[in-house]
Structure 1
């Protein structure tokens, strides 16, 4: 599952984990991304210390033995973490799905946790590039799901997604225990407060957040990438 930050990505990981037949991995390339870029993120040192900084080892693990622990294996990837030069061959052994969200909602949420995000930080350009790469080798568009559709109709949207993946849907995907998941990344302490208080998918606010200044300009930059993938949403 490829998304940018603040995209409902953790809640969707919890939904798949709640199935009971699905192992999950939270942002496999995060430590490698921070190590390679030197970028300053909240809990940077802790993330690097807890993770694997060699992207080749991460990629091998994404297609490796961990996937055999349960019948299904959900990898929650951030598109911005997949830097040029990081191995991508593992993707061909996976079903790649793209989770999208309107940039105004992403930016409003992100800014509460880390001020001054750039276009690179929110992952829309990288998501479109990865989408095109997967579409090129598949010969058709990969699966796309919009977080707004999940929040508007969780059961129907997840049932449609599961059918497209060729797996059975279960109502267990609609609920999870409050307090987080054992496989959360160490960064959960900073980023996952709201989802840790949740026990299911909350309804989205009807109105988009009102952004001004640099944040409004950033949303306008990201909007074409969102709209293009939105055309393929389930």
Structure 2
């Protein structure tokens, strides 16, 4: 008998992994194996299960033999689909487990896993196995294998599109038979099926997701906080993502591609671009309640750093910010961010200081009890304006805020006045817009000050 080409499915429990195994079992060219490493896992870890003795009696417990004889042994079909739970990948298993075959990762939002998990087994970080799932993805990438990642939520919303995409990634033909199966167990079910597979046995295909989720058990809130970032790491590698609100847009190209991988300072730490975020309770989200400065770095020097910091601290004082970081702390954050990124020239910093996070949503600064939030966003950025050829400006109909209403000497983040003028310049295909004050005199552009040079004098 020939040896089938092995397809490895890696997932956390309660991630529709059994439904997906049933789907592949409907193919005429595929045999399926249900968690072949389970007995080896139970024997090595001593984990208790109601069916533990039955599993250890019925299944091969030697991990080396499982990999050699069951996973990569001879078979009668072209493909062998092995359903794996991530935590069952034990240290010391033969390297062939990962280096051979085709691999993909199935993920599911812990918000949906945890309520489902609780019905069968008390959940824990180890039981969820999301940490190991990230390790599996990383290990495969280091070996030069880029595993496909699919999301169980996508599989429920659009089974055919998701399965077609997965088959393309695995370089196998899609078969329409994968979309339906007969209710009831299949011979390949593991001996633990009576404990875990009730809903699958009642199904005849991938069920549509319920319109509204179940109430989340808040007793598992800490576990959700631990596991959700790991899910999001893997979800960032899902090719086709849908949204409850609208069809997702394709990833845009960046003006400077090098900025795809940058590190930003948020609060009191440096974070990768996609992780650099503030709380939904932060004042900058709640009401644009923040001050900011734009800094330029030329040949290792920050232009007018002290003057910019003077204005930022003056603005924070004018807005009655409390628990403001010291000048030295702000400078330290700036320098650390630049050095970590290796940015010493041709760089722009968007330096923001928000009033900070609130204890509850609302306008009152009395709700701000966590201290200010410092953000240092450094990007590779060439000069915005053409200093040689000049730029085209339009005069905006939007008037600059009056100091009687909101004093522009306070360098605040509430920039809607400027943005409306910028929209006018965009519509006019101009670089920027000149803004007039309430009396019709030139004030500034939507983004910069205006200086006039006459007979060599500014």
Please report the TM-score for the alignment, with normalisation by the length of structure 2. Answer: 0.49
Q: Does 1:90 align with 2:97?
A: yes
Q: Does 1:153 align with 2:158?
A: yes
Please give the alpha-carbon distance, in whole angstroms, between the structure 1 residues aligned to 2:217 and 2:32. Answer: 37
Q: Does the 8 Å contact 1:141/1:232 carry over to 2?
A: no
> 2:39 aligns to what SS in structure 1?
helix
The equivalent of 1:58 in structure 2 is 66
Q: 2:183 aligns with which of 178, 186, 190?
A: 178
Q: Can you give the 5+ residue segments of structure 1 that lack an aligned partner in the other structure?
A: none
Q: Does 1:130 align with 2:131?
A: no
State the structure with more CA Rg. 2
The equivalent of 1:41 in structure 2 is 49
Of Structure 1 and Structure 2, the greater helix share is in 1
| Bigger relative CO (Cα 8 Å, ≥ 6 apart) | 1
Q: 1:81 aligns with which of 88, 93, 98?
A: 88
The equivalent of 2:201 in structure 1 is 196
The equivalent of 1:99 in structure 2 is 106
Q: Does the 8 Å contact 1:104/1:211 carry over to 2?
A: yes
For residue 21 of structure 1, report the CA deviation from its aligned partner: 1.0
Please give the alpha-carbon distance, in whole angstroms, between the structure 2 residues aligned to 1:167 and 1:86. Answer: 27
Of Structure 1 and Structure 2, the greater strand share is in 2
> 1:23 aligns to what SS in structure 2?
strand
Please give the alpha-carbon distance, in whole angstroms, between the structure 1 residues aligned to 2:16 and 2:177. Answer: 17
Please report the TM-score for the alignment, with normalisation by the length of structure 1. Answer: 0.94
For residue 87 of structure 1, report the CA deviation from its aligned partner: 2.6
Q: Which moved more, 1:147-156 or 1:37-46?
A: 37-46
Please give the alpha-carbon distance, in whole angstroms, between the structure 1 residues aligned to 2:189 and 2:16. Answer: 14
**Cα distance, 1:52–1:159 mapped onto 2, change above 3 Å:** same
Please give the alpha-carbon distance, in whole angstroms, between the structure 2 residues aligned to 1:185 and 1:123. Answer: 19
Q: 2:170 aligns with which of 154, 165, 187?
A: 165
Q: Which stretches of structure 1, 4 residues or longer, exceed 4 Å deviation after superposition?
A: none
Count residues with an aligned counterpart: 231
The equivalent of 1:30 in structure 2 is 38
Q: Does the 8 Å contact 1:63/1:93 carry over to 2?
A: no
- Supply the RMSD in Å over aligned alpha carbons: 1.4
For residue 62 of structure 1, report the CA deviation from its aligned partner: 4.5
Q: Can you give the 5+ residue segments of structure 2 that lack an aligned partner in the other structure?
A: 1-8, 240-458
Deviations 1:27-50 (A, max 9, x none): 011011011111112311111111
> 2:229 aligns to what SS in structure 1?
helix
**Cα distance, 1:42–1:104 mapped onto 2, change above 3 Å:** farther
Q: Does the 8 Å contact 2:71/2:82 carry over to 1?
A: no
Q: Does 1:18 align with 2:23?
A: no
Q: Does the 8 Å contact 1:21/1:70 carry over to 2?
A: yes
